[in-house]
Amino acid sequence: MRLITQSSKLAGVRYDVRGPILQEAERLERAGERILKLNIGNPAPFGFDAPPEIVEALRRALPEAQGYSDSRGVLPAREAVAEHYRGLGVPGIGPDDVYLGNGVSELISLVLQALVSPGDEILVPAPDYPLWTAQVTLSGGRAVHYPCVESNGWMPDLDAIEALVTPRTTGIVLINPNNPTGAVYSAELVRGFAALAERHGLVLMADEIYDRILYGGAVHEHAARHVSGTLCLTFSGLSKAQRVAGYRSGWVVASGDRGCAIDFLEGLTLLANMRMCANVPAQYAIPVTLSIESSISALCAPGGRLREQRDAAHALLTGIPGISCELPGGAMYLFPRLDPERYPIDDDQQFVIELLRATRVLVTNGRGFNLPTSDHLRFVTLPEAPVLAEAIGRIAEYLETVRIP
């Protein structure tokens, strides 16, 4: 019998956020166990409802959204996105510079397929959102990871990044606020990324899906404001700040020097045409979203759920002997470090599986975010504070059994 095997293109492709750890959680659920899932940033299951105006906009659009749209997206939505970025100080943006997609994830895939040739290198942060590394690999390229320094609040070192540039380097990824660390980069650092990209003719890919989820006075700086001499691609959407991850509604905006990228943009349009179009009803939620005052700010302010849950989880985790954690300025995650001298972890994926079996709490291992060491975990801070306290309490009890005094 001839075996049917996976494509060789998948060699080296990993996506641990939904990998073997989740499969073990699903096995336990089938056996009747109740699993607390702190592995993925999905707001709706934790009681974060979308603004009613967005839900109503989609409902109203249903009768008019039964056919395919333009492959780049419906014009009113693309116009709204273009106007939004012009209002943020990004000059010259029009609807033809906007591509709508089934969430940012699909758009990352389309962009990298259109951009990356075999052997091309893309600079990607470590840690990163693992889809970036996976899609670079799947596209035939090589993800070259630049370090973000934990002792410096997970900030990247621009000199270290520039030392990684080679003749095969095609682009650089900037995730701000960062997933999984929650680091929010200063305007000076973002300008440094833009200048580096321009010096070397790199495409700057700015993943800004968490740009409105900010705490304690943190300010997000849009990379596109500082790019004129090369191509900038800005990714964002409705999944996080508007709490409609299931709508799968996102966008990528091309700005900066589009003249040097005509061939690439033709390729991106080809791929957009091949998938016909993005989910049409959810596209109609975009103009409403960008025309109303966002309710996410109140959730992130003192007394707001996201802020209170971040603070509670951070205090509980750092109260466990041998655990440290940078306090994130944005996003909805914590990325704590387990002191290797107290918790000697060789295989962090297996460690997280054992933690899951013992506690029924599902988290993700640090190597799943392309961190080179096995001493970090990622926690989602979306459950209410009492639920987080229960989960972290179970984890603390388990760590007592494996900790070296």
Domain ranges of the chain: 8-49+297-402, 52-289
Distances (CA, A) of 234 to 33, 96, 105, 116, 176: 41, 14, 13, 17, 11
pLDDT score of 243: 87
Task: Give the chain's radius of gyration (CA, Å).
Answer: 21
- The domain defined by 8-49+297-402 folds into Aspartate Aminotransferase, domain 1 (3.90.1150)
Q: Which residue has the tokens 């680091």?
A: 183
* Distance (Å, whole) CA 165 – CA 31: 50
pLDDT score of 201: 97
Structure confidence by residue, pLDDT tens digits, 348-389: 999 999 999 999 999 999 999 999 999 999 999 999 999 999
Mean pLDDT of the chain, nearest integer? 93
The answer for residues whose C-beta is within 8 angstroms of residue 131's C-beta and 6 or more apart is 15, 105, 108
- The domain defined by 52-289 folds into Aspartate Aminotransferase; domain 2 (3.40.640)
The answer for residues whose C-beta is within 8 angstroms of residue 59's C-beta and 6 or more apart is none
187: amino acid identity, one letter: A
Assign 13 a pLDDT band (cuts: 50, 70, 90). confident
With a cut of 90, say whether residue 294 has pLDDT above it.
no
* Distance (Å, whole) CA 224 – CA 258: 12
pLDDT score of 18: 66
Assign 402 a pLDDT band (cuts: 50, 70, 90). confident
Average pLDDT over residues 281-300: 89
Q: How far is CA 302 from the centre of its chain?
A: 24
Assign 20 a pLDDT band (cuts: 50, 70, 90). confident
Of 221, 388, 226, the closest CA to residue 313 belongs to 388
pLDDT score of 17: 65
The answer for residues whose C-beta is within 8 angstroms of residue 254's C-beta and 6 or more apart is 97, 98, 99, 231, 232, 233, 261, 265
Average pLDDT over residues 170-199: 97
Assign 263 a pLDDT band (cuts: 50, 70, 90). very high
Q: Are 251 and 224 in contact (CB under 8 A)?
A: no
* Distance (Å, whole) CA 175 – CA 204: 11
